[in-house]
Homo-oligomer: A and B are copies of this chain.
Amino acid sequence: MTGSKVASLRPVPELPCEPIACAQCGVYQLCLPLGLFEADLSLLESVVRRKATYKRGQLLFRPGDRFDFIYAIRSGSVKTSVQTPDGRVQITGFHVAGELLGLSAFDSGRYSCEARALETTSICKVETGRVEELAQRIPAIQYQMLRIMSGHIRRDEDLILLLGKRSAEERLAEYLLGLSRRFAARNYSPTQFRLSMSRGDIGNYLGIAEETVSRLLSRFQNAGFIAIDRRQVRLIDLGQLEAMARINAA
Protein backbone atom coordinates (compact mmCIF):
# COMPACT_ATOMS: atom_id res chain seq x y z
CA MET A 1 0.00 0.00 0.00
CA THR A 2 3.05 2.24 0.01
CA GLY A 3 3.70 4.44 -2.96
CA SER A 4 6.68 2.51 -4.25
CA LYS A 5 4.94 1.78 -7.54
CA VAL A 6 4.64 5.44 -8.37
CA ALA A 7 7.45 6.88 -6.30
CA SER A 8 9.56 7.31 -9.41
CA LEU A 9 7.12 9.72 -11.01
CA ARG A 10 8.56 13.13 -11.72
CA PRO A 11 6.42 16.00 -10.52
CA VAL A 12 5.21 18.29 -13.29
CA PRO A 13 7.96 20.89 -13.81
CA GLU A 14 7.05 24.47 -12.99
CA LEU A 15 7.31 26.98 -15.78
CA PRO A 16 9.26 30.16 -15.13
CA CYS A 17 6.96 33.03 -14.13
CA GLU A 18 8.76 36.22 -15.16
CA PRO A 19 6.71 38.66 -17.22
CA ILE A 20 7.94 38.02 -20.74
CA ALA A 21 6.57 39.21 -24.05
CA CYS A 22 3.60 37.38 -25.56
CA ALA A 23 5.75 36.36 -28.51
CA GLN A 24 7.99 34.49 -26.12
CA CYS A 25 5.20 33.07 -24.02
CA GLY A 26 5.19 29.32 -24.15
CA VAL A 27 1.44 29.11 -24.07
CA TYR A 28 0.16 32.03 -26.09
CA GLN A 29 -0.49 29.73 -29.02
CA LEU A 30 -2.78 27.87 -26.67
CA CYS A 31 -4.64 31.06 -25.84
CA LEU A 32 -4.83 32.00 -29.50
CA PRO A 33 -4.17 28.92 -31.64
CA LEU A 34 -4.49 30.84 -34.89
CA GLY A 35 -0.97 32.11 -35.25
CA LEU A 36 -0.83 35.87 -35.53
CA PHE A 37 1.49 38.02 -37.58
CA GLU A 38 4.21 39.96 -35.85
CA ALA A 39 2.40 43.25 -36.05
CA ASP A 40 -0.63 41.65 -34.52
CA LEU A 41 1.46 40.22 -31.76
CA SER A 42 2.77 43.57 -30.64
CA LEU A 43 -0.78 44.85 -30.70
CA LEU A 44 -1.82 41.95 -28.54
CA GLU A 45 1.07 42.77 -26.26
CA SER A 46 -0.30 46.27 -25.79
CA VAL A 47 -3.55 45.05 -24.28
CA VAL A 48 -2.03 42.62 -21.84
CA ARG A 49 -1.93 44.70 -18.77
CA ARG A 50 -0.67 42.80 -15.82
CA LYS A 51 1.20 39.60 -15.44
CA ALA A 52 0.49 38.36 -11.98
CA THR A 53 1.34 35.37 -9.84
CA TYR A 54 -1.13 33.75 -7.45
CA LYS A 55 -0.38 31.31 -4.68
CA ARG A 56 -2.34 28.22 -3.73
CA GLY A 57 -5.79 29.18 -2.52
CA GLN A 58 -5.57 32.78 -3.68
CA LEU A 59 -8.60 34.38 -5.25
CA LEU A 60 -8.47 35.70 -8.83
CA PHE A 61 -12.00 37.04 -8.85
CA ARG A 62 -15.37 36.31 -7.33
CA PRO A 63 -19.01 36.65 -8.39
CA GLY A 64 -20.13 40.25 -8.50
CA ASP A 65 -16.65 41.70 -9.11
CA ARG A 66 -16.55 44.07 -12.05
CA PHE A 67 -15.51 42.44 -15.29
CA ASP A 68 -12.33 44.42 -15.94
CA PHE A 69 -10.03 41.63 -17.08
CA ILE A 70 -9.98 38.38 -18.93
CA TYR A 71 -7.54 36.03 -17.23
CA ALA A 72 -5.21 33.83 -19.26
CA ILE A 73 -3.35 31.07 -17.46
CA ARG A 74 0.34 30.87 -18.32
CA SER A 75 1.22 28.13 -15.88
CA GLY A 76 -0.29 26.43 -12.85
CA SER A 77 -3.96 25.64 -12.42
CA VAL A 78 -7.16 27.31 -11.31
CA LYS A 79 -10.58 26.11 -10.18
CA THR A 80 -13.77 27.98 -10.92
CA SER A 81 -16.94 27.56 -8.88
CA VAL A 82 -20.46 28.84 -8.43
CA GLN A 83 -22.62 28.66 -5.35
CA THR A 84 -26.17 28.62 -4.04
CA PRO A 85 -27.47 31.51 -1.94
CA ASP A 86 -27.10 29.34 1.15
CA GLY A 87 -23.47 28.63 0.44
CA ARG A 88 -23.26 25.22 -1.20
CA VAL A 89 -20.44 25.34 -3.73
CA GLN A 90 -20.17 23.62 -7.09
CA ILE A 91 -16.85 23.58 -8.88
CA THR A 92 -17.47 24.18 -12.58
CA GLY A 93 -14.00 23.50 -13.90
CA PHE A 94 -10.31 22.96 -13.39
CA HIS A 95 -8.22 25.08 -15.73
CA VAL A 96 -4.63 24.86 -16.89
CA ALA A 97 -2.10 26.70 -19.04
CA GLY A 98 -3.55 28.34 -22.13
CA GLU A 99 -7.11 28.60 -20.89
CA LEU A 100 -9.08 31.83 -20.48
CA LEU A 101 -11.13 32.63 -17.39
CA GLY A 102 -14.04 34.98 -16.83
CA LEU A 103 -15.78 34.56 -20.16
CA SER A 104 -19.20 34.22 -18.58
CA ALA A 105 -18.99 37.82 -17.44
CA PHE A 106 -19.42 39.50 -20.85
CA ASP A 107 -23.16 39.34 -20.53
CA SER A 108 -23.73 41.10 -17.23
CA GLY A 109 -20.43 42.92 -16.88
CA ARG A 110 -19.72 41.09 -13.64
CA TYR A 111 -18.11 37.75 -12.99
CA SER A 112 -20.64 35.03 -12.31
CA CYS A 113 -18.22 32.55 -10.81
CA GLU A 114 -15.29 32.48 -8.48
CA ALA A 115 -11.75 31.60 -9.59
CA ARG A 116 -9.08 30.40 -7.20
CA ALA A 117 -5.54 29.16 -7.77
CA LEU A 118 -4.94 25.49 -6.98
CA GLU A 119 -1.18 25.96 -6.85
CA THR A 120 1.31 28.69 -7.66
CA THR A 121 -0.10 30.06 -10.87
CA SER A 122 1.06 32.64 -13.40
CA ILE A 123 -1.61 34.73 -15.06
CA CYS A 124 -1.92 37.32 -17.83
CA LYS A 125 -4.65 39.84 -17.21
CA VAL A 126 -6.13 41.31 -20.37
CA GLU A 127 -8.20 44.48 -20.15
CA THR A 128 -11.71 43.72 -21.31
CA GLY A 129 -12.29 47.20 -22.65
CA ARG A 130 -9.50 46.63 -25.11
CA VAL A 131 -10.58 43.24 -26.29
CA GLU A 132 -13.26 44.75 -28.47
CA GLU A 133 -10.90 47.22 -30.12
CA LEU A 134 -8.39 44.50 -30.64
CA ALA A 135 -10.93 42.13 -32.10
CA GLN A 136 -12.03 44.79 -34.51
CA ARG A 137 -8.53 45.37 -35.77
CA ILE A 138 -7.61 41.70 -35.91
CA PRO A 139 -10.55 39.72 -37.26
CA ALA A 140 -8.74 36.49 -36.48
CA ILE A 141 -8.99 37.28 -32.79
CA GLN A 142 -12.66 37.98 -33.02
CA TYR A 143 -13.26 34.62 -34.58
CA GLN A 144 -10.97 32.96 -32.10
CA MET A 145 -12.97 34.36 -29.21
CA LEU A 146 -16.10 32.81 -30.64
CA ARG A 147 -14.34 29.47 -30.93
CA ILE A 148 -13.01 29.62 -27.42
CA MET A 149 -16.41 30.43 -25.96
CA SER A 150 -17.99 27.78 -28.12
CA GLY A 151 -15.52 25.24 -26.78
CA HIS A 152 -16.39 26.38 -23.28
CA ILE A 153 -20.06 25.70 -23.90
CA ARG A 154 -19.16 22.32 -25.32
CA ARG A 155 -17.27 21.35 -22.19
CA ASP A 156 -20.12 22.57 -20.04
CA GLU A 157 -22.43 20.27 -21.99
CA ASP A 158 -20.15 17.37 -21.15
CA LEU A 159 -20.27 18.23 -17.47
CA ILE A 160 -24.04 18.60 -17.56
CA LEU A 161 -24.35 15.16 -19.10
CA LEU A 162 -21.99 13.73 -16.53
CA LEU A 163 -23.84 15.29 -13.59
CA GLY A 164 -27.25 14.43 -14.94
CA LYS A 165 -26.89 10.92 -16.23
CA ARG A 166 -23.77 9.12 -15.12
CA SER A 167 -23.02 6.93 -12.10
CA ALA A 168 -20.31 7.79 -9.61
CA GLU A 169 -18.03 5.17 -11.12
CA GLU A 170 -18.46 6.49 -14.63
CA ARG A 171 -17.89 10.04 -13.46
CA LEU A 172 -14.58 9.29 -11.87
CA ALA A 173 -13.34 7.12 -14.73
CA GLU A 174 -14.28 9.82 -17.20
CA TYR A 175 -12.61 12.42 -15.05
CA LEU A 176 -9.31 10.57 -15.04
CA LEU A 177 -9.50 10.04 -18.77
CA GLY A 178 -10.30 13.70 -19.31
CA LEU A 179 -7.23 14.73 -17.37
CA SER A 180 -5.20 12.25 -19.36
CA ARG A 181 -6.33 13.79 -22.63
CA ARG A 182 -5.54 17.28 -21.46
CA PHE A 183 -2.07 16.32 -20.37
CA ALA A 184 -1.49 14.54 -23.65
CA ALA A 185 -2.54 17.67 -25.55
CA ARG A 186 0.16 19.59 -23.67
CA ASN A 187 2.84 17.00 -24.29
CA TYR A 188 2.85 15.66 -20.79
CA SER A 189 2.48 11.99 -20.06
CA PRO A 190 -1.14 10.91 -20.48
CA THR A 191 -0.64 8.02 -18.09
CA GLN A 192 1.30 9.58 -15.24
CA PHE A 193 0.48 12.87 -13.64
CA ARG A 194 -0.10 14.74 -10.44
CA LEU A 195 -3.55 15.85 -9.34
CA SER A 196 -3.40 19.50 -8.36
CA MET A 197 -6.77 19.28 -6.63
CA SER A 198 -7.90 17.51 -3.46
CA ARG A 199 -10.28 14.55 -3.23
CA GLY A 200 -12.84 16.98 -1.91
CA ASP A 201 -12.50 19.18 -4.98
CA ILE A 202 -12.77 16.21 -7.32
CA GLY A 203 -15.90 14.99 -5.58
CA ASN A 204 -17.40 18.44 -5.55
CA TYR A 205 -16.76 18.86 -9.26
CA LEU A 206 -18.19 15.46 -10.09
CA GLY A 207 -21.22 15.88 -7.85
CA ILE A 208 -20.27 13.02 -5.52
CA ALA A 209 -19.03 12.88 -1.94
CA GLU A 210 -15.35 13.07 -1.14
CA GLU A 211 -15.62 9.67 0.55
CA THR A 212 -17.05 8.17 -2.62
CA VAL A 213 -14.07 9.46 -4.59
CA SER A 214 -11.74 7.82 -2.10
CA ARG A 215 -13.62 4.53 -2.18
CA LEU A 216 -13.72 4.42 -5.94
CA LEU A 217 -10.06 5.29 -6.35
CA SER A 218 -9.23 2.43 -3.99
CA ARG A 219 -11.50 0.17 -5.97
CA PHE A 220 -9.89 1.19 -9.27
CA GLN A 221 -6.48 0.52 -7.76
CA ASN A 222 -7.45 -2.88 -6.39
CA ALA A 223 -8.86 -3.76 -9.79
CA GLY A 224 -5.49 -2.87 -11.29
CA PHE A 225 -6.77 -0.06 -13.52
CA ILE A 226 -4.72 2.66 -11.85
CA ALA A 227 -1.94 3.14 -9.33
CA ILE A 228 -2.41 6.03 -6.99
CA ASP A 229 -0.31 7.36 -4.16
CA ARG A 230 -1.40 10.60 -2.65
CA ARG A 231 -1.88 12.83 -5.65
CA GLN A 232 0.38 10.99 -8.03
CA VAL A 233 -1.61 8.88 -10.46
CA ARG A 234 -0.66 6.32 -13.02
CA LEU A 235 -3.28 5.05 -15.43
CA ILE A 236 -2.49 1.41 -16.07
CA ASP A 237 -5.38 0.12 -18.10
CA LEU A 238 -6.83 2.87 -20.24
CA GLY A 239 -9.09 0.38 -21.98
CA GLN A 240 -10.73 -0.73 -18.75
CA LEU A 241 -11.12 2.86 -17.63
CA GLU A 242 -12.80 3.72 -20.88
CA ALA A 243 -15.07 0.73 -20.49
CA MET A 244 -16.04 1.96 -17.04
CA ALA A 245 -16.67 5.46 -18.26
CA ARG A 246 -19.04 4.21 -20.93
CA ILE A 247 -20.43 0.78 -20.43
CA ASN A 248 -21.55 1.03 -16.83
CA ALA A 249 -25.00 1.62 -18.28
CA ALA A 250 -27.11 0.74 -15.24
Binding site for B on A (CB under 8 A): 82-90, 92, 103-108, 112-113, 132, 135-136, 139, 142-143, 145-154, 156-161, 163-166, 204, 207, 246-247, 249
Q: In the complex, what residues of B have CB within 8 A of residue A107's CB? A: 147-148, 150-151, 154
Please determine whether A90 and B154 come into contact, CB atoms closer than 8 angstroms.
no
The reply to whether A157 and B92 form a contact with Cβ atoms under 8 Å apart is yes
Contact among B92, B106, B246, B249 with A150 in the assembled complex (CB-CB below 8 Å): B106
| Contact A163/B166 with A139-B132, A150-B105, A153-B152 known, Cβ cut-off 8 Å | no
| Copies of this protein chain in the complex | 2
Question: Taking the nearest CB of chain B, how far is it from the CB of A45, in angstroms?
Answer: 22
**How far does the alpha carbon of A142 sit from the alpha carbon of B158 in the complex, in Å?**
26
B82 near A161 (CB under 8 angstroms)? yes
Identify whether the interface residues of A are mostly helix, strand, loop, or mixed.
helix
Docked-complex contact A86 and B153, CB < 8 angstroms: no
| Given A132-B143, A146-B106, A160-B160, residue A90 in contact with residue B153 (CB < 8 A) | no
Cα of A172 to Cα of B220 in the assembled complex, Å:
35
Contact A104 B150 (CB under 8 A): yes
B153 in contact with A153 (CB, 8 Å):
yes
In the complex, A132→B250 CA distance in Å?
44
Q: Considering the complex, give the chain B residue whose CB is closest to the CB of A131.
A: B146
Among A88, A103, A156, A164, chain B packs the most CB atoms within 10 A around the CB of A164
- Interchain nearest-CB distance for A77 vs B (Å): 19
- Asked whether B149 lies within 8 Å of A150 as measured between CB atoms, the reply is yes
What is the minimal beta-carbon distance from A113 to any residue of chain B, in angstroms?
6
Minimum Cβ distance to chain B for residue A221 (Å): 25
Q: Is the CB of A86 within 8 A of B145?
A: no
Q: A92-B161, A149-B150, A156-B156 are in contact. List 4 more A-B contacts (CB 8 A).
A: A86-B246, A103-B150, A106-B149, A164-B204
CB pair B163–A108 under 8 Å, yes or no, is no
